[in-house]
Amino acid sequence: MLPPGEDRTVSLTIHDQVSDERRAELTSATHLLLEVTEASQYVALYKRHEEFEAAIQQAVTGVGQAGFDPRILKTIDETFEVLLSALRAFDDRTAHSLSTRYGKDSAIVAQFKKALSAEYDGNFAYRFCYRLRNYTQHCGSPIAGIRAGAASLPNGQSVKHCLPYFDSRTLITDYPDGWSTVKRELLELDGEFLVEPVVESLIGSCSTAYSKLLIAQEPQLRSAIEVVNRAAADASIDGGVPLLAQVQLNDPRATRPTLVPIRVEAALNAENDLRQAKAVMEAAAA
């Protein structure tokens, strides 16, 4: 923050007048790049995953010989339910965003739905959590409890654990008609199973689906990256934030320029995400 009385004005040197077409091109390219990077529903889902893991680590820190503070279960419950909501948003809002951009009958929308279907068919964790979203709406938290404790090793170090778990019997009893084909798998489990391995497998499924989506959009992303990088090169500044400025020279009412930030970091992030997506798919094929 500037000190009181500090001059807050800046000078703009206008090298060239930016056309409406170029401003619209840059704005559209930037929106696409942000949509698949920092503003994507997959990024939001992964952040909720990190918050869930942080809640468990907090619980581990608080474990003593007598167990743990039972109030921490509330935090774990809450962060897990938020994670399930983020899963729904990843599925539904991503599909809606793609439909808005490319059309509901577009090949890219179809590819995303196909990727999700493949994860549903091939991964119990995704299939289970997909159904678990409805369970939480009707029955509350699906986490049955936490196994917590601490033990001393011969070297004097203390090893703590805090392991939330589901109970398939309780899940079926509380919500007997809400599991579809997952019910058979829950019956086979017939008891307690840990939450964290399910969550890790779920995130892996979503990462695979989103990697397929990024690769499907590679031509559009490459084009958008080129638009942003070209605008940044044309701005040719050293340091600071590159901007395109549009001034309505023939409009006497226009006292301020229209400023369009050139989000170079969005182009870099998209490049990096494309590389990671290809690495994910190469690892899956190995």
pLDDT in tens, 109-164: 999 999 999 999 999 999 999 999 999 999 999 999 988 877 777 777 777 778 99
Question: Could you give the CA distance from residue 221 to residue 216 in angstroms, rounded to a whole number?
Answer: 10
What b/e sequence results for 238-248 when a residue is b if at least 16 CB atoms lie within 10 Å of its CB, and e otherwise? eeeebbbbbee
- The predicted pLDDT at position 213 comes to 97
How large is the average pLDDT for residues 95-108? Answer: 96
- The predicted pLDDT at position 286 comes to 80
Question: Could you give the CA distance from residue 214 to residue 224 in angstroms, rounded to a whole number?
Answer: 13
- The predicted pLDDT at position 4 comes to 46
Supply the mean pLDDT for the chain.
Answer: 85
- The predicted pLDDT at position 3 comes to 45
Can you tell me which residue has the tokens 């921490």?
Answer: 72
Q: Quick check: 262 pLDDT over 90? A: no
- Assess contact for 14 and 83: CB atoms under 8 A: no
- The predicted pLDDT at position 199 comes to 98
- The predicted pLDDT at position 54 comes to 94
Tokens describing residue 117 = 């279907």
Q: Quick check: 259 pLDDT over 70? A: no
Question: Could you give the CA distance from residue 61 to residue 103 in angstroms, rounded to a whole number?
Answer: 49
Q: How far apart are the first and last CA of the chain?
A: 52
Question: Could you give the CA distance from residue 126 to residue 139 in angstroms, rounded to a whole number?
Answer: 20
More confident residue, 257 or 198: 198
Q: Supply the DSSP symbol for 240.
A: S
Beta strands at 158-167 and 145-152: parallel, antiparallel or unpaired: antiparallel
- The predicted pLDDT at position 250 comes to 53
pLDDT in tens, 160-212: 778 999 999 999 999 999 899 899 999 999 999 999 999 999 999 999 999 99
Q: Quick check: 62 pLDDT over 90? A: no
Question: Could you give the CA distance from residue 231 to residue 214 in angstroms, rounded to a whole number?
Answer: 23
Q: Which of 5-14, 37-46, 60-69, 187-196 is least confident?
A: 5-14
Output phi, psi for 66, to 5 deg. -90, 0
- Assess contact for 214 and 43: CB atoms under 8 A: no
Q: Quick check: 5 pLDDT over 90? A: no
pLDDT in tens, 230-256: 888 877 655 555 555 554 545 555 556
Q: Quick check: 280 pLDDT over 80? A: yes
Q: Helical H runs in the chain?
A: 20-36, 41-61, 72-102, 107-122, 124-139, 168-174, 182-189, 195-216, 218-235, 264-285
- The predicted pLDDT at position 276 comes to 96
- The predicted pLDDT at position 148 comes to 81
- The predicted pLDDT at position 160 comes to 79
